[in-house]
Amino acid sequence: MNLLYEKFPETVRVSGKDYPIYTDFKSWLKFFDMLEEPKLSEREKMLFALRWYQDRIEPEIWEEGIQALIRFAIRGDIPEQSRNKGSSKKILSWSFDAPYIYAAFLSEYHIDLLNATMHWHLFLALFDALPEDTPIKQRMYYRGINIGEIRDKNEKKRILKIQRQIKIPQEAMDAFAIGNVFS
């Protein structure tokens, strides 16, 4: 999709039919928070996820409906090569990193996310385009460093210290984990 001239999707296709969904970024941040909620059972998460449909969908297509929501949330299917890699490091938590995301949008784009409405895909495009020197991107960078590849002891110690300071306190879900929730 080319966001410069194509309209953002307002629906997802389930069993050959388009169903309207909620598309504001705040709804999708809540979606990910809901999926990370340890107090909810997998069934409860599935039932809550169906609330992202503006209209009720029939129980016989719930599973396909959940998959459609996941594709919308991650802007497409999980690449085949990523599926085979297994789990990767969690470098971002929409909830835990919220202050840094808020500050980056305010600083870089002059967008006050508390008062903004924005399509989820536009939000993700802007998030992806944040400069690498913003604190949120730096946090993601340091979380993603593979300590085993660092040979210098002092550098390894420095990176480990940073990683401990910015560690995500609870396990965040990636696209694979989201898929597993509803499999």
pLDDT of residue 23: 98
Q: Cβ(119)–Cβ(21) under 8 Å?
A: no
Domain boundaries, the chain: 11-84+175-181, 98-165
* Predicted TM-score of the model (pTM): 0.85
Residues 6+ positions from 103 with CB-CB distance below 8 Å: 134, 135, 136
14-53 pLDDT tens trace: 999 999 999 999 999 999 999 989 999 999 999 999 999 9
Q: What is the pLDDT of residues 45-96, one digit of tens each?
A: 999 999 999 999 999 999 999 999 999 999 886 554 444 444 468 899 999 9
How are beta strands 11-14 and 17-20 bridged, if at all? antiparallel
- pLDDT value of residue 46: 93
Residue 84 makes CB contacts below 8 A (sequence gap 6+) with none
DSSP 8-state secondary structure symbol assigned to residue 76: S
> Residue 113 is inside which H or E element, if any?
none
- Residue 31 and residue 177: Cα distance in Å, rounded? 13
Residue 21 contacts residue 70 (beta carbons within 8 Å):
no
